[in-house]
Structure 1
Amino acid sequence: MSGLEQGGLAFVVLLAMLAIGVPVGFALAGVAAAGLYLSVGTTFMLTTFKVTPYTLASDYTFVVVPMFVLMGAIAGRAGIIGDLYAAAQAMLSRVRGGLFMATIMAQAGFAAASGSTVVASGVFTRMALPEMLRFRYDPGVSAGCIAAAGTLAGLIPPSIAMVLYALLTGEPVGALLIAGILPGLLTAGGYMLGIRIWLQFRPDWAPPMTEHVSWSARFSALGRVWSVLLLMFLVMGGIYSGQFPPSAAGAVGAAGALLIALSMRRIDSRQLWSALVESARITAMIFIIVIGGLIFSRFLLISGFIGDLRVLIQSTELGIAGFMVMTVALFLLLGMFLDSVSLLVIALPFLYPISQTLGIDAIWFAVIVVKLIEIAAISPPVGLNLYAVLAAADKMVTSRDLFKGVLPFIAIEMVILALLLLFPWIATILPETMG
């Protein structure tokens, strides 16, 4: 069999295993084990399974993963999310659709202290959805807004998706994290502008607000967001200025979140233990998937799949534009049936080498890929954020209403994606100026 045939068969078997419920990391490793055994024999297969997990887990650079996860877990338990939402809600209390915008702003702020789209979606559903329904906002659009705004954590640092991209490609973590800032802010601004435009045509989605919040109450609520601003300054300021590497930035962020929580007397030993356990569980899950993905990518390389695919694409003379169109189509199609992490780990091992052969800027390509997997996270029928919202909503909204309600935000995402494709400098300008 040719390299393309071997790789194609491996993807078919992999998708079949995922369809019957085999965990992603084990499915990737299982297919890779069979492929390596048939391609190069037992010795190389066993050596790969021995060396790859140790090499990844022992690399100090990747301590950033558990540290960023821990920072988000502590920030969530310290009530920082509630402060953000209360401040945004107070400042936008007299604006039509203000709760939509408050949710977007608060989730953008929380993204700077978390990094997990699923966590953001679940937490804000429990907090914001009852408030929206109390003011007679459209249930489906409200839930769709929460799910879509949760994807901001994929771009705004500290982004777990960007860290995963670095793990899979070897690109510098710090530059990737910084690259997500402007695209993340552009996405948040696009959501807010888009929802204002949509409300001109569908005012029934958000009735006029009747509650009045005094300016003193607004400034009082705004004054409580200092914790997020401090965390942003500590983490991203340190990375951008070169004062410490991303691995240290994660530790600084986690320690900063803990000190802030203790100073505000909002965390006890039980909650801290819960945050530690959650961080360990999420980190283990991520590393199992990434290790499986790295072994699978080794099989794709050894089998000749990547080389043959590169030759095929070059022979068709797609060029950069054609390759990017193919990448967007692939992610949008597979994103309807695979969760974000699985999609990233499965597709990146063969797309990234080809992108570099074509001379595509690695940082820009990373931002495009992360944007695509975040669109996948809100694409029915398998969007991970959608099910995080449904689980947290506890029957306050139906899946049908949510799937319809998220469509306006997917349309906004398409516009933002087009801007990122047309103007690569949005992703590259900040990393180019790093100290």
Structure 2
Amino acid sequence: MLDPLTIGVLAIVAMLLLSIAGVPVGIAMASVGVAGLWMTGGAAFALNTLMNLPFSMASDYNFVVIPMFVLMGAIASSSGITQELFGFSNLLLRSRRGALYQATILASAGFAAISGSTLVNAALFTRIALTEMLRLGYDRAFSAGCIAAAGTIAALIPPSISFVIYGLLTGESVAELLIAGVVPGLITTAAYMIGTAFYVRFRKDVAPPPQPRAGLKEIGRSALALWATFLLAGLVIGGIYLGFTTPSGAGALGATGALVIALFRRRLSGAELANCLRSAAGVTAALFVVIIGGLMFTRFFLVAGTVTSATDLLQSFELSPIVFMLLLVAIFVVLGMFMDPLAMQVMTLPFVYPLVTALGFNGIWFGVIMVKLVELAVLSPPVGMNLFAVIGASEGKVTLAEIYRGILPFIVIEALVLALLLAFPELSLWLPNQMFAH
């Protein structure tokens, strides 16, 4: 009889081999999980889990926040909000060298406040910004890397699907997690903008000379068009922060607000609304398949005793909390290079989270660190999902080698911001600690 840790290692290898063979990661995890439950708990137990676990998860009201956030982003992008954000950012910054890089970062951060998906952000801004960047003579590799990196800001600034999933898997307050991401999201945005400013200063070949400064009247007209963005962000973030609504309620309010704005502007036809609904349903279904598959996989780990054995092994090393956290970060960075980040969260949190909190770390703070690691994962070659989102949306304008080269400066920036958040937990905890204070 194999020991629990060996069983766990073999299960992970089997799951990875299925994924490499082309099986969707959610199906791969579910298949290995059910097979493992069958071998360890018997056929009746495995079938009972297969019937009950997916239904209990999918029927949980708390998960309704995911399709609502996805739908809000889909409708908002169809109503022209992304173009308005990019246009305003470009007018504001175009007198600086590398203005389109910074405009993309700033606009992506603005859209992150009404869209919880990094992949959607990356794909949208590829279609909006990349052609203009290449037309004006911006470096192809750095342009693609900038768009992919800017998309990750949506993982931190609410409404963030990554925080919702972390909260639902760990039992931490989803509302506090969403608010905890605001300051780190703003720090990341500032770090990207400062980093690109320095980069284009020392590498003048990656950006053309700056354009003439835009007039104040032109900037003002463009700024007035951003009312829809501020309204939606205020409804969602303000509603959660002030305690007027739950995250699920904020998602429904945001989706309804986006629909009303799109209809008011007459920018959403019946066919486009149907596409938004189909897109939201498709993204939600894909997320749920990964979540259900991951829960099947971790249920097998629990039954086989892998979680208990791994926990005991780590505790036997008697590592200091700081060393343990640094080791955990290193493991997640390596995992993120080869795994779907959502699958990484679902697989590891059931036994990592109890260890982290037992060592005295704050669960909300660790949620921010976890989401930051998810950001790194979607940017890290060879399997960075944002990189492939940009390549797909570029329609052949960017190669894999180019985006691998262009993303490296942003991975360095991400690592520096991660180190800052690890060293100063209050950057993540100050704002949620002020919630409901009024």
TM-score band, normalised by the shorter chain? Answer: over 0.9
Q: Which residue of 2 aligns with 1:230?
A: 231
Answer yes or no: is the 8 Å Cα contact 1:95–1:209 preserved in 2: yes
Distance 2:333 2:428 in 1: 20
Answer yes or no: is the 8 Å Cα contact 1:300–1:350 preserved in 2: no
Distance 1:173 1:48 in 2: 26
SS at structure 1 position matched to 2:54:
helix
Answer yes or no: is the 8 Å Cα contact 2:96–2:211 preserved in 1: no
Deviations 1:250-298 (A, max 9, x none): 0000000011111111111111111011111111111111111112111
SS at structure 2 position matched to 1:377:
helix
Code of the aligned partner of 1:280: A
Distance 1:103 1:187 in 2: 14
- 2:16 equivalent to 1:15: yes
Distance 1:428 1:319 in 2: 22
SS at structure 1 position matched to 2:96:
coil
Aligned length: 435
Q: Which residue of 1 aligns with 2:387?
A: 386
Q: Which residue of 1 aligns with 2:316?
A: 315
Answer yes or no: is the 8 Å Cα contact 2:291–2:343 preserved in 1: no
Distance 1:241 1:158 in 2: 15
Distance 2:17 2:325 in 1: 27
Q: Which residue of 2 aligns with 1:25?
A: 26
Q: Which residue of 1 aligns with 2:102?
A: 101
Code of the aligned partner of 1:98: A
Distance 2:295 2:171 in 1: 11
SS at structure 1 position matched to 2:102:
helix
Q: Which residue of 2 aligns with 1:204?
A: 205
Answer yes or no: is the 8 Å Cα contact 1:168–1:290 preserved in 2: no
SS at structure 1 position matched to 2:379:
coil
1:346 to partner: Cα distance:
2.5
1:105 to partner: Cα distance:
0.4
Q: Which residue of 1 aligns with 2:147?
A: 146
Distance 1:45 1:353 in 2: 25
Code of the aligned partner of 2:71: L
Q: Which residue of 2 aligns with 1:89?
A: 90
SS at structure 2 position matched to 1:406:
helix
SS at structure 2 position matched to 1:237:
helix
The residue correspondences of 1:275-424 to structure 2 (distance < 5 A) are 275-424=276-425
Code of the aligned partner of 1:240: Y
1:165 to partner: Cα distance:
1.3
With normalisation by structure 2, the TM-score equals: 0.97
Distance 2:108 2:89 in 1: 10
Structure 2: gaps spanning 5 or more residues: none
More moved, 424-433 vs 163-172: 163-172
Code of the aligned partner of 2:77: G
SS at structure 1 position matched to 2:211:
coil
Code of the aligned partner of 1:333: V
Code of the aligned partner of 2:399: T
Q: Which residue of 1 aligns with 2:433?
A: 432
1:50 to partner: Cα distance:
2.0
- The two structures, once aligned, show a CA RMSD in angstroms of 1.2
1:122 to partner: Cα distance:
0.7
- 2:175 equivalent to 1:174: yes
Answer yes or no: is the 8 Å Cα contact 2:112–2:153 preserved in 1: yes
1:82 to partner: Cα distance:
0.3
Answer yes or no: is the 8 Å Cα contact 2:25–2:340 preserved in 1: no
Code of the aligned partner of 2:289: I
More moved, 209-218 vs 263-272: 209-218
SS at structure 1 position matched to 2:226:
helix
**Cα distance 1:316–1:237, how it changes in 2: closer, same or farther (>3 A)?**
same
Code of the aligned partner of 2:21: I
Distance 1:43 1:397 in 2: 51
Answer yes or no: is the 8 Å Cα contact 2:62–2:168 preserved in 1: no
Code of the aligned partner of 1:218: I
Answer yes or no: is the 8 Å Cα contact 1:168–1:294 preserved in 2: no
With normalisation by structure 1, the TM-score equals: 0.98
Q: Which residue of 2 aligns with 1:117?
A: 118
SS at structure 2 position matched to 1:380:
coil
Q: Percent sequence identity over matched residues?
A: 50
Distance 1:193 1:243 in 2: 35
More moved, 103-112 vs 369-378: 369-378
Distance 1:92 1:344 in 2: 37
Answer yes or no: is the 8 Å Cα contact 1:162–1:173 preserved in 2: yes
1:9 to partner: Cα distance:
1.4
1:350 to partner: Cα distance:
2.7
Distance 1:327 1:120 in 2: 28
Q: Which residue of 1 aligns with 2:58?
A: 57
Distance 2:79 2:197 in 1: 32
1:211 to partner: Cα distance:
4.0
Code of the aligned partner of 1:273: A
Deviations 1:336-386 (A, max 9, x none): 222322222233233222212222211111111111111111111111100
Answer yes or no: is the 8 Å Cα contact 2:146–2:407 preserved in 1: yes
Distance 2:184 2:146 in 1: 18
Distance 1:278 1:168 in 2: 25
Distance 1:101 1:65 in 2: 29
1:18 to partner: Cα distance:
1.1
1:173 to partner: Cα distance:
1.3
1:212 to partner: Cα distance:
4.2
More moved, 162-171 vs 303-312: 162-171
